[in-house]
Amino acid sequence: MLNPSQHRNVIVSAQWGTIIAFCALTILPLGYAIFRLTDVTGMTVFSSMEKFFSDDDTLTALEFTLLEAAISTLFTLLIGLPIAWYLGRYKWRNIRMIRAILSVPFVTPSIIVAMGFLMLIDPGGLLDSIGIDLRLETGVIGDMARVTGWENPGHFIALIAAHVWFNLSLVMRFIEPTLATLDRTWEEQIRFLPAGRNKILRIKNLWLPLLAPAALCSACLCFIFSFSSFALVKWLTPNQDNLETLMAKSGGSAGIYNYRIDTSEVVLSTSMVQLLILSIAIIYTARVQKKHSTIHSIVTENSHQVANKSPNKLALITVIGAITYAVLPLILVLISSIRIRDARSNDHYYSFEAWIEAWNGSYSATAIPDALTNSLIYCITTLIVALPVGYIISSTIARLEGENKQNTARFVEFLSMIPLALSAVMIGLGILIGVLKWAPDLFSWAILPAVPHIIITTPFVVRIMLPAIRSLEPQYHEQAMLLGLSPAKAWWHGRIALLRAPIIVSAALTMAFSLGEFGASWILVRSGSWDSLSVLVDQLMGRPKFDPLIQPMAMAAAATLMFLTFILFLIAERFRHTDEGSGF
């Protein structure tokens, strides 16, 4: 029987062991990929970065990446703020369903988002019919291009619209909970003070301090996700590259000695610059998020759930508009799976032919049930590993904070966020090269594609669990111990039972992210029966489409993935606290 001190030592050792294992899983393949690329190219990390800034192609890609990420962030905030405001300030029926619908885009696989928007902007499609031709850039958009000399403004606008769609829930998730739980008396009281006698002063002295950290936090994450966007840039702005698409184009032949060294140089230099920029963004995000958590907890501690009034017309229009915006591309994907072109007449008819074909599969296209089984195996494996690892890392951070070891806590938090700063291509390539070097037999291990999923989803588990663990009262656990429960039972009843909601939310989101993960899988999941649903969609879409069934088949696979994602999100929403301020 262990005494409390020994028991604590075991737990602390286990925590550090887990953190070291997670870091090794993340950093070793990356380190090996960097080592291999420097060895292949004969460049150092610094000389590769010098080369990056002296090459026109990489610089153009960087400019485009920064521009699209900054504008996407700006518009996401501009559109997301009013939606969050109305959702938080009014009483909505079926609020969980509304939140789930508005949040689904964030976990929708990016390849599906790209397909949905392609259909939305399709010539002859919905937007084109109202005179906005973003694809062929005729009419107003064509005039805009001529007058401004801006090349392909339609494609750029489509990309921004897709990024806004994808990231909108981030703004909502950060801002709405603070607004929803804010005690209305604060507003009333400030009106009597000189600092709140007019609207501008109230914005300056009440709303800005309350909401700015949340807005900044969501803005940082919008920037990070738009910056590392891959499928959307690939499909929506075919004439321009961001850093991720630039790397993906060269990724296949990178890391090979004496062969296509230029591609290794591009991947090395671009990934280093991307790593640097995203690391800065993530460190800043962590800092802002801490501030936001503090403010949010002050708001929730000092407030009670107010009985909001029913939404006015403007609120109704805004929220209905947002819901329409959120579901439209997804509905179009669904319709496209049953809308088949008759190759002879070029008319369209509706049929389930593509579903049947995709469901049965062939040697050249994995059947949907097989891809679905693979996806589920990867996501369950991811869940089994990422959830406990994320919990342990969060607990360690909270413990270190409790012990006043703020710097160590911040360092562990930063380590857990590293995967967000990595390019999916680099993660995939690192694992591929690393595995081939150290344990070639693992290459045929069916669970291998789950490894990048674990790396990518663990930071999300940490982000969801950490605020909840921070807010846990240690007395519950102590009281459970005093009642004579065994350490395991005390841990279960005094801790895990209280974390049921964030655990379920993390589990659902981990599964959803794993189902939709594309970038790293694209590098690794090419081995026959390993195809996941998201890879299957891309494979079918990348194929010559002389046969009119190919595209609807891809959409059938996409629709299956969407259905699963939506179910998982409904489960997450059912267990989410209304006052939760974690952001996801």
To 10 degrees, the CA torsion angle through 341, 345, 350, 351? -80
What minimum distance in Å lies between the beta carbon of 544 and another protein?
7
Binding to another protein in span 227-286, by CB under 8 A: 235, 238-239, 249, 252-253, 255-256, 259-260, 262
CA distance 64 to 82: 28
Q: Which is nearer to another protein, 13 or 527 (CB)?
A: 527
Query: Would you count residue 59 as binding another protein (CB under 8 A)?
Result: no
The one-character DSSP state at 207 is I
Q: Which is nearer to another protein, 184 or 526 (CB)?
A: 526
The CB density around residue 161, as the number of other CB atoms within 10 Å, is 22
Query: Would you count residue 372 as binding another protein (CB under 8 A)?
Result: yes
Cα–Cα distances (Å) from 164 to 76, 77, 160, in that order, read 5, 8, 6
The DSSP result for 55-83, as a single string, is: -HHHHHHHHHHHHHHHHHHHHHHHHHHHH
Q: Which is nearer to another protein, 198 or 364 (CB)?
A: 364
The DSSP result for 220-259, as a single string, is: HHHHHHHHT--HHHHHH-TT---HHHHHHHHHTTTT-TTS
Residues sharing a CB contact under 8 Å with residue 575, sequence separation 6 or more, in sequence order: 500, 501, 504, 505
CA distance 27 to 33: 10
**Bridge partners (DSSP) listed for residue 469:** none
Among 363, 404, 407, 488, binds another protein (CB under 8 A): 363
3-state secondary structure of 390: helix
Q: List, as own/partner pairs, every contact residues 337-341 make where C-beta atoms lie below 8 angstroms and the sequence separation is at least 24, other chains included.
A: 337/552, 337/553, 337/555, 337/556, 337/558, 337/559, 338/552, 339/552, 340/548, 340/549, 340/552, 341/548
What minimum distance in Å lies between the beta carbon of 564 and another protein?
7
Query: Would you count residue 484 as binding another protein (CB under 8 A)?
Result: no
Query: Would you count residue 349 as binding another protein (CB under 8 A)?
Result: no
Query: Would you count residue 567 as binding another protein (CB under 8 A)?
Result: yes
What minimum distance in Å lies between the beta carbon of 385 and another protein?
18
Q: Which is nearer to another protein, 474 or 542 (CB)?
A: 542
In this chain, which stretch among 117-125, 280-288, 401-409, 478-486 interacts with another protein, using CB under 8 A?
117-125
Among 89, 228, 571, 580, binds another protein (CB under 8 A): 571
CA 471 from chain centre, in angstroms, equals: 25
CA distance 473 to 521: 40
Query: Would you count residue 38 as binding another protein (CB under 8 A)?
Result: no
Among 39, 50, 57, 143, binds another protein (CB under 8 A): 57
Query: Would you count residue 339 as binding another protein (CB under 8 A)?
Result: no
Amino acid in the structure at residue 395? S
Query: Would you count residue 543 as binding another protein (CB under 8 A)?
Result: yes
CA distance 410 to 401: 9
Q: Which is nearer to another protein, 108 or 539 (CB)?
A: 539
In this chain, which stretch among 42-50, 76-84, 364-372, 391-399 interacts with another protein, using CB under 8 A?
364-372
Query: Would you count residue 350 as binding another protein (CB under 8 A)?
Result: no
Query: Where is 542: in which H helix or E strand?
Result: none
CA distance 141 to 151: 11
Among 146, 191, 204, 574, binds another protein (CB under 8 A): 574
Query: Would you count residue 129 as binding another protein (CB under 8 A)?
Result: no
Q: Which is nearer to another protein, 254 or 277 (CB)?
A: 254
- Residues binding another protein: what is the number (CB under 8 A)? 63
CA distance 541 to 537: 6
Q: Which is nearer to another protein, 132 or 136 (CB)?
A: 136
Query: Would you count residue 546 as binding another protein (CB under 8 A)?
Result: yes
- Nearest in space to 177 (alpha carbons), one of 502, 468, 583: 583
Among 369, 388, 402, 474, binds another protein (CB under 8 A): 369
Query: Would you count residue 302 as binding another protein (CB under 8 A)?
Result: no
What minimum distance in Å lies between the beta carbon of 315 and another protein?
31
Q: Which is nearer to another protein, 198 or 444 (CB)?
A: 444
In this chain, which stretch among 210-218, 272-280, 438-446, 469-477 interacts with another protein, using CB under 8 A?
438-446
Mutual angle of helices 550-574 and 95-107, in 10-degree steps? 130
Among 25, 69, 119, 211, binds another protein (CB under 8 A): 119
In this chain, which stretch among 214-222, 278-286, 355-363, 451-459 interacts with another protein, using CB under 8 A?
355-363
Longest dimension (CA), the chain: 81
First and final CA of the chain: distance in angstroms? 41
CA distance 121 to 144: 17
Q: Which is nearer to another protein, 209 or 238 (CB)?
A: 238
What minimum distance in Å lies between the beta carbon of 415 and another protein?
29
**Residues within the interface to another protein (CB under 8 A):** 56-57, 115, 118-119, 122-123, 135-136, 235, 238-239, 249, 252-253, 255-256, 259-260, 262, 336, 341, 343-344, 346, 359-364, 366-367, 369-370, 372-373, 376, 432-433, 436, 440, 443-444, 504, 526-529, 539, 542-548, 551, 564, 567, 571, 574-575
